Chains A and B, each alone.
Chain A
């Protein structure tokens, strides 16, 4: 399953909800959700721990728009919109955590 998260974990609890309830799969961080994937941010330890269960992706354009594409947490894969489409196609189900 693909979990799509579009808010920063420092703003909303949607990423927390995914990590607390999801039993694995892929997480795609988009819009302000990409702040979760910056090196040294307060949420980084939780995200790193989650990598045991989830594959983490972040949308490249949204990283660039926020000036943080050069300090993405190790282990997070950046994808463009075509990659976003592939993730949706490759996962049988997806959920936008709004």
Chain B
């Protein structure tokens, strides 16, 4: 079955990002397809590679990146939410005159249409938030 995942809470806030990750991983391990993971609102903070939690804590950002690499996941960050919160890739840095980028591996910045498409193309859409 094809699943779409929406994450609208940042990492280390409450538990939504952890729940979304565990659900996504479990679905993949059961042989389901993840059409897309879409990060919206504060959820875009899951996509900064500058995150540095203490060594004995889980690294939520790296964990997403690794899962994406292992399963070739499409992880999309909402562009408007990202701009507000300073999540920047090279294209956005150039377009907005910023001197740095911080988008973590495996993520890409795009628009809300990608969320709509995930809703249309997936058999099930599951939202994780606060």
Interface residues of A (CB under 8 A from B): 4, 6, 30-32, 61-62, 80-82, 84-86, 88-89, 94, 96, 98
List of 5 A-B pairs having minimum Cβ-Cβ separation, nearest first: A81-B26, A96-B127, A31-B15, A98-B129, A85-B27
Shortest CB distance B20–A (Å): 10
> Is the beta-carbon distance between B126 and A94 smaller than 8 angstroms?
yes
> Is the beta-carbon distance between A85 and B16 smaller than 8 angstroms?
no
> Is the beta-carbon distance between B16 and A94 smaller than 8 angstroms?
no
Shortest CB distance A31–B (Å): 4
Contacts A82-B30, A85-B23, A88-B124 aside, 8 further interface pairs with beta carbons under 8 A come to A31-B14, A31-B19, A81-B23, A82-B26, A85-B26, A85-B32, A88-B126, A89-B123
Chain A residues, Cβ within 8 Å of B130: 98
> Is the beta-carbon distance between B26 and A84 smaller than 8 angstroms?
yes
Shortest CB distance B126–A (Å): 6
B interface residues, tally (CB under 8 Å): 23
B25 within 8 A of A: yes
Chain A residues, Cβ within 8 Å of B27: 85
> Is the beta-carbon distance between A96 and B14 smaller than 8 angstroms?
no
Bound Cα distance from A82 to B15, whole angstroms: 18
Contact of B124 among A61, A82, A89 (CB under 8 A): A89
Shortest CB distance B69–A (Å): 20
Shortest CB distance B121–A (Å): 16
Chain B residues, Cβ within 8 Å of A62: 15
Contact of A88 among B3, B15, B16, B25 (CB under 8 A): B3
Chain B residues, Cβ within 8 Å of A85: 23, 26-27, 30, 32
> Is the beta-carbon distance between B23 and A96 smaller than 8 angstroms?
no
Contact A6/B26 with A96-B127, A96-B128, A98-B127 known, Cβ cut-off 8 Å: no
> Is the beta-carbon distance between B22 and A89 smaller than 8 angstroms?
no
> Is the beta-carbon distance between B15 and A94 smaller than 8 angstroms?
no
B29 within 8 A of A: yes
Chain A residues, Cβ within 8 Å of B1: 89
Bound Cα distance from A6 to B127, whole angstroms: 11
Chain B residues, Cβ within 8 Å of A96: 126-129
Contact A84/B32 with A31-B15, A89-B1, A98-B129 known, Cβ cut-off 8 Å: no
